[in-house]
Amino acid sequence: MRATFQKESVSEELALEMLEAAIGKARELGKAFAIAVVDESGVLKSFIRMDGAPLISVQVAIDKAYTAAGYGLPTHRWYELLMEDRPLAMGAHAINRLIVFGGGYPISVGGRIVGGVGVSGGNAEEDMKVAEAALEVLDKSDTSRGDRERAQEHT
């Protein structure tokens, strides 16, 4: 029997770089967002509520990141799944912190989910653009390029 196991997680450096990239995209869009990066367990790693971002966007951004990390699926894909699976749709409201609209993406490195990024403050398309800007940080790493491409295939 094994008593422990190892798992990989998003580093603080990556979490901060992703946050900075997302802030840059948010400024480009001219809107204020809440932006969250969580580790593989859904625990907050880096976060900002930009000046003027709606209060409600704080928890929504964190929960988008949590949902994406927890299920390894972009949040906007949940809506499609719920439309295809009536029993799941009926019970989804009971799944704590589940977000089913755009703006949350898993962070995958080397084929492993190491965290999630969540953005809230705009419409779903804007939230997704800001979150995708955070994921572009992964493109700097050759080992992560394929993971980002696979994540984008889910969009």
Which sequence spans correspond to the domains of the chain?
12-153
Question: At 60, which amino acid appears?
Answer: V
Span 21-33, pLDDT tens digits: 999 999 999 999 9
pTM: 0.88
Question: Of 110, 141, 104, which Cα lies nearest the Cα of 8?
Answer: 110
- DSSP secondary structure string for all residues of 21-67: HHHHHHHHHT---EEEEEETTS-EEEEEE-TT--THHHHHHHHHHHH
Q: Which CATH architecture has domain 12-153?
A: 2-Layer Sandwich (3.30)
Q: Using DSSP, state whether 155 is helix, strand or coil.
A: coil
Which burial class, exposed, middle or buried, applies to 121 when counting CB atoms under 10 A from its CB (0-12, 13-18, 19+)? buried
Q: Is the pLDDT of residue 88 over 60?
A: yes
pLDDT level of residue 146 (50, 70, 90 thresholds)? very low
Span 91-137, pLDDT tens digits: 998 999 999 999 999 999 999 999 999 999 999 999 999 999 999 99
Confidence at residue 151, expressed as pLDDT on a 0 to 100 scale: 52
pLDDT level of residue 43 (50, 70, 90 thresholds)? very high
Question: At 13, which amino acid appears?
Answer: E
